[in-house]
Structure 1
Amino acid sequence: MPFSNLSRPLYEIKASLFKGLAHPLRIRILELLSESEELSVGFLQRETGLEASHLSQHLSVLRRYRLVTSERRGSHVYYRITGERVAEMLTVARALLLDVLSEDGSRLEGALVGSEQSR
């Protein structure tokens, strides 16, 4: 269990959480779920293009890290994020990434302008 040894330092527990997030398709699944109240496994499969077994593995990891929860209704299983904090984390990560990319773009632009002036 990812959080079973809570006597570890908080930074180690955080690192464990980030390991659970460390796959692009798990981020995609969380983003899809954050945009809806809940989604069926079938919908997630269509949107991600994953085979059922691979999607199941990713959802299992997200459940283990308590980022999503599921509910079976009849023959269908529905997933939702476990709370608003998960959606907030995705929003903050997106904003941070845009800041970094913008800064890198500004540096690149400055370097290109500088190299053209030296010609």
Structure 2
Amino acid sequence: MSTLQIRLEQKALEKTAYVLKCVAHPVRISIIDLLTQRDRLTVSQLQRVLQIEQSLLSHHLTNMRDKGLVDTQREGKNVFYSLTDSTITDIISCIQSCKLFS
């Protein structure tokens, strides 16, 4: 019988928990899902699909930006949001394929 051990370093565990806490909200998961479908979207585009108040959406986007999950790029009066790391979309794939959520 092999010895059990934690296979991730403490820093990796902390970073993972930090990211998962940030995305642990249906709106934020939806934002990630939408940003996987398009490279970048404006608040207006996201709001049209999500159908939530602009202030609530901005709150979520600010939180995601502050945690490093999304980047912003201003073009004129539009601010475009994009994912900083496309591998975060693996969370969506995992959720979709997990039998617990079917």
In 2: Cα distance, 1:78 partner to 1:9 partner? 31
Give every structure 1 segment of 4 or more consecutive aligned residues whose post-TM-superposition deviation is greater than 3 Å: none
Query: Displacement, 1:17?
Result: 1.4
Sequence identity of aligned pairs in percent? 33
Count of aligned positions: 93
Q: Aligned with 2:38: secondary structure?
A: coil
Distance 1:101 1:60, change over 3 A: closer
Q: Which residue number in structure 2 is paired with residue 66 of structure 1?
A: 68
Q: Higher relative contact order at CA 8 Å, sep ≥6: structure 1 or structure 2? A: 2
Query: Displacement, 1:64?
Result: 1.9
Q: Which residue number in structure 2 is paired with residue 112 of structure 1?
A: none
* Conservation of the 8 A alpha-carbon contact between 2:70 and 2:81: yes
Query: Displacement, 1:27?
Result: 0.4
Aligned pairs (5 A) from 1:97-108? 97=98, 99-101=99-101
Instruction: In structure 1, list runs of 5 or more residues that go unmatched.
Output: 1-7, 103-119
Q: Aligned with 2:89: secondary structure?
A: helix
Q: Compute the RMSD of aligned alpha carbons.
A: 1.7
Q: Which residue number in structure 1 is paired with residue 41 of structure 2?
A: 39
